[in-house]
Chain A
Amino acid sequence: MRGLGRIALAAYASVILLPLMLLVITTMKTTPEFYADPLGLPRRWDFSHYRELFDGQTMWRYFGNSAVVTLSTVALELLLAGMIAYGILRSGRKLGGFMFALFAAGLMVPSQVNMIPIYSLLRKLGWTNSLTGLVLVSAAVLLPLSVFMLSGFMRTLPKEMLEAGAIDGAGEATLLVRIVFPLCAPYLASTAAFLFVIVWNDLLFPILLVGGKDKLTLPLALLQFRGEFVTDYPMLLTGVVVSTVPMIVLFVFLQRYFISGALAGSLKG
């Protein structure tokens, strides 16, 4: 029985590793080499596809767009949701309960339901090619999840600390910044990591809200590469590797937060 378990783990590990290895290997072959032997190892580790990609595409711009959108959204999210969660924590049962329900109800509304009206609204506002619009929309849409996660975490904080601070004359803002945020730091980090993955990889809202070539985020740019490279797999997969490496690097160093964030985020409800 134990042996079977080990085999299962090894088997699944291959199911994860082999596609990823194939991905990288394919990008290191020259295109003719690839067509000659799709599965074989390259004769030399050829980086020409990477050079071609960076020369032909504004990759740094796409990176920049993704980074700006993701970091802004996550920062804004933690701030807004943190304040709301704190408000819920400190409010009386009626107000707190109402606000919590208001945001929790949003959990039942998937993005595909608001995408059309949000698109129309932004078009009316003239924000159809705006990264700012994207940030605001992404932040709004993630509020139910963030408020849910953060208020759950905040509820686990020892009440006495807040009460002691209040008795000492601290105002609500001070309590939030000096006591709650520091205590919540690991939770904020996990939530940030979870949100980071969601926003960085998002396709739905960028597709709707960003049109200009200079404003594309990575997933969107990648999708457009398909139109350009068609079945030039080595080039296409080079795009995939380049888009993926930052996330993998972050993941390797910050695994703990990504995983605990995913755990907390999946437990919504």
Chain B
Amino acid sequence: MKPGKRLILFYLPGTVLYLALFVYPTLTGLYYSITDWDGLSPSYRYVGADNYARLAEDIVFRKSFANNLKFMLAVVLVQTAVSLALALQLTKKNKRTVALRALFFVPTVLSSVSVGFIWTFIYDPSLGALNGLLEKLGLGALTQNWLGDMDLAIFSVAAVQAWAHIGQMIVLYVAGLQAIPRELLEAARLDGGTRGQVFRKVTWPLLAPAAAIVVSYTTIQSFKAFDLVFTMTGGGPAYSTEILSTFIYGAAFTNGTFGFASAASVVFLALISLITYLQFRLLRADRVSY
């Protein structure tokens, strides 16, 4: 029963759409990056690697890169640690854990704009709940301008990013934890292992693939976090929350330098591809068998 040549028909519509609206634009993007196109004029000049050279020297670009790294590290640390800690409590299959897992997942189905507005409200220095709560608890000295302080803003946004996605990572961890055969854990406990030892010697190594997925997914997600930053701070104050994706948007649509922005996208693409590739390799190498 050789599959018929009709199969080409199955590929056709999707592939045509994909080539036309995904592959072709990506390739033309690469092309724009070596021009000085402003997005509007019908004509433009080739500038070779000029855009890339300018990127390397552009202060805002370098700041965006650094901010993105700060953001990513903060999000990855908080998101992966908290979701693991919570997932460990939610592995049993009963009504309570199912309900809690669903509750924790709710922020994930909200749009980033909604999440952004909710937390911009909470972070409001005078009307917001966070400062209000701190005052009521007598901790008024700790109140901050969460989104207006240049050093703090990026971390405030990172906290929100984590809030929005911890639920999703919990689901991944729970799946990973539930895949660990009970017998192994029980054998370890019978052999006299304390809870800590069982975790370190049995659970953690077998959880490594799930953990790798969580870390890499979070990393890539935090590089792509356009919607949230755009909604909450628009890159401010003073570019302290500008990340690569908002930089690209700004360079293209606010400053009208499409060529320059395309060069930034190419750099961004290279970075993400690298991370994705490393993720693939890391996962293949982490197949633990027992």
Contact = CB atoms under 8 A, between A and B. Distances in A.
Contacts of A248: 106, 109
Interface in A119-157: 119-121, 136-137, 139-141, 143-144, 147
A contacts with B: majority SS: helix
Chain B contact residues (Cβ within 8 angstroms of A): what range?
A: 35 or more
B203 interface: no
A220 to B, nearest CB: 8
A191 interface: no
Given A13-B100, A117-B32, A236 B25 contact: no
Q: Which of B13, B82, B106, B109 neighbours the largest number of chain A CB atoms within 10 Å of its CB?
A: B109
B10 A83 contact: yes
Interface stretch (B54-62, B148-156, B167-175): B167-175
Q: Which of A1, A115, A222 neighbours the largest number of chain B CB atoms within 10 Å of its CB?
A: A115
A204 B227 contact: yes
Interface stretch (B45-53, B128-136, B139-147, B181-189): B128-136
Contacts, number: 267
Given A35-B127, A120-B39, A203-B227, A259 B1 contact: no
Contact of A87 (B11, B111, B166): B11
A166 B90 CA distance: 45
Contacts of B29: 113-114, 116-117
Q: Which of B113, B213, B273, B277 neighbours the largest number of chain A CB atoms within 10 Å of its CB?
A: B113
A84 interface: yes
B175 A112 contact: no
A5 B88 contact: yes
Given A163-B1, A203-B111, A219-B111, A117 B14 contact: no
A37 to B, nearest CB: 9
A258 B26 contact: no
Closest 7 CB pairs of A and B: A201-B111, A80-B14, A117-B25, A140-B21, A166-B1, A87-B10, A90-B3
Interface of B: 1, 3-4, 6-8, 10-11, 13-15, 17-18, 20-26, 28-29, 32, 39, 82, 85-86, 88-90, 100-114, 117-119, 121-122, 124, 127-129, 132-133, 136, 163, 166-168, 171-172, 175, 195, 213, 216-217, 220, 223-224, 226-227, 230-231, 244-245, 248-249, 252-253, 258, 261-262, 265-266, 268-269, 272-273, 276-277, 279-280, 283
18 contacts: A8-B89, A12-B86, A84-B15, A91-B7, A99-B11, A109-B269, A111-B226, A113-B26, A116-B39, A118-B21, A120-B28, A166-B1, A172-B3, A222-B113, A244-B111, A251-B105, A266-B213, A269-B279
